[in-house]
Chain A
């Protein structure tokens, strides 16, 4: 068995001994691969179509959040639009700072909210930490997105983004549509809601764990680079990650 370090060195030497060819040969190999990429793009289109065909469930409970403009209901969070995307950002009621992985994802979506608003979508980040804690952390990170607290309601528990310590201990936490043991009371995920003309709200979609992978362009970019995600020597896999103001260099 190779150690992690040896495995990594092997990977480096693999990069150093990579097949180098003339331009024409490269084009031939690239074209063959392009056909597979196109097939994959069509597969993603098809999966997105099937996702939108999923049935919806009616949201019957009234949820009231603490937001920058005071108390806001789930309906208010749509801010006049008919579609709402929620990022479940891991930030427990007694935490001082937000989860670093969720912060990484937020670095990806902070700039695009304004564009989504022009496609009939409001985007909001929701966590259980109290609003002043969220607001202080948002300012520290320099983010612009809207962030509301679900501390006073069951929202996070009902949509399986928070679990009680008991649920985690006895294995009844329903995480990513199965019974698993998450490492913390909070998990990351995305939930989608739709509001009709009568004001009825429907839960249309949620995803957790690797379901949020595509929403992190940094990983998509790493997938292009010769070394890939290169996390074999990392334990856990994202051990290298810091908040954007916490890297030493």
Chain B
């Protein structure tokens, strides 16, 4: 990685442009592929939600239907925060730093976006205040919601290292996992589960990675994953780059 920087090829502007234009064609092809993929995603069939889920939120008890807040599309970020934890997951916190400012825009496109975790609502509210976020966050601690949609796993599943996670039987890791679920509510009030993603399926929403992917060093994680991430109020000099 470092060598790619140290001995990088330096060229005059005309040559730079030639190489850049060549990559631009590939980037444009990629943009069109992304559109096709999104179109295909939306043509996936849906599953009707038959169970009643009741969450604890800022307004007390709220049904899944209430969470749509008058809109027809609901995007849920499954934020890793177990009932026992004192603080939310640092990686989910980084993702939240990225999506906190966009809710107001999504509302205009018939999309309500919220976060759901199993920790009691009081803990969520306190952590949200500490981090200075504005998005809505509800607790699913009293429901099977997280387990049904495979974002939380039982002690038994963890002990056996076997659960249906990201669409196959595997070791899910900790009891809580991160990801997104999408629901649609029709005019009759029926609710449908339309989509969910886990693991690298969440990467389109990691804008920090899109920026890292643009710079010479890239993610620079050496196969270690996002070891460098801290909560935004916890960066001391621990992972700071020497100035």
User: Is B102 interfacial (CB 8 A cutoff)?
Assistant: yes
A114 surroundings in chain B (CB, below 8 A): 97, 232, 235
Q: How far is the CA of A23 from the CA of B218 in the complex (A)?
A: 39
A111:B44 contact, CB within 8 angstroms: no
The answer, among B45, B99, B167, B218, for a CB contact under 8 Å with A48, is B218
Q: How far is the CA of A162 from the CA of B72 in the complex (A)?
A: 40
B85 surroundings in chain A (CB, below 8 A): none
User: Is B42 interfacial (CB 8 A cutoff)?
Assistant: yes
Q: Given A37-B201, A47-B26, A123-B211, do A111 and B10 touch, yes or no (CB 8 Å)?
A: no
A177:B44 contact, CB within 8 angstroms: no
B17 surroundings in chain A (CB, below 8 A): 177
B166 and chain A: residue at smallest CB distance: A34
User: Is A140 interfacial (CB 8 A cutoff)?
Assistant: no
A34:B105 contact, CB within 8 angstroms: no
B94 and chain A: residue at smallest CB distance: A115
User: Is A63 interfacial (CB 8 A cutoff)?
Assistant: no
Residues of A18-46 contacting chain B, CB below 8 A: 18-23, 25-27, 29-31, 33-34, 36-38, 40-41, 43-44
B108:A217 contact, CB within 8 angstroms: no
Which of A27, A38, A118 has most chain B Cβ within 10 Å?
A118
Residues of A199-249 contacting chain B, CB below 8 A: 202-207, 210-211, 213-218, 220-230, 240-242, 244, 247, 249
B75 surroundings in chain A (CB, below 8 A): 221, 224-225
User: Is A15 interfacial (CB 8 A cutoff)?
Assistant: yes
Q: How far is the CA of A225 from the CA of B10 in the complex (A)?
A: 43
A79:B243 contact, CB within 8 angstroms: yes
User: Is A54 interfacial (CB 8 A cutoff)?
Assistant: yes
User: Is A148 interfacial (CB 8 A cutoff)?
Assistant: no
B6 and chain A: residue at smallest CB distance: A196
B44 surroundings in chain A (CB, below 8 A): 26, 29-30, 33
The answer, among A31, A57, A110, A228, for a CB contact under 8 Å with B101, is A110
A157 surroundings in chain B (CB, below 8 A): none
A111:B13 contact, CB within 8 angstroms: no
The answer, among B4, B104, B207, for a CB contact under 8 Å with A109, is B207
Q: Which 6 A-B pairs have the closest CB atoms?
A: A80-B243, A111-B97, A107-B101, A48-B213, A223-B38, A19-B45
A40 and chain B: residue at smallest CB distance: B37
The answer, among A33, A111, A217, for a CB contact under 8 Å with B41, is A33
Q: How far is the CA of A31 from the CA of B193 in the complex (A)?
A: 15
Q: How far is the CA of A211 from the CA of B30 in the complex (A)?
A: 10
B47:A26 contact, CB within 8 angstroms: yes
Q: Whole-angstrom distance from the CB of B47 to the nearest CB of chain A?
A: 5
Which of A15, A110, A211, A241 has most chain B Cβ within 10 Å?
A15
User: Is A120 interfacial (CB 8 A cutoff)?
Assistant: yes
B129 surroundings in chain A (CB, below 8 A): none
A244:B101 contact, CB within 8 angstroms: yes
Residues of B209-241 contacting chain A, CB below 8 A: 210-220, 228-230, 232, 235, 239-241
Q: Whole-angstrom distance from the CB of A24 to the nearest CB of chain B?
A: 10
The answer, among A22, A83, A228, A241, for a CB contact under 8 Å with B38, is A228
B20 surroundings in chain A (CB, below 8 A): 54, 177, 205-206
Q: Beyond A115-B94, A218-B109: 6 further Cβ-contacts under 8 Å?
A: A19-B45, A19-B46, A21-B46, A54-B23, A104-B105, A227-B73
User: Is B3 interfacial (CB 8 A cutoff)?
Assistant: no
Residues of B159-207 contacting chain A, CB below 8 A: 166-168, 180, 182, 184, 186-187, 192-197, 200-201, 203-205, 207
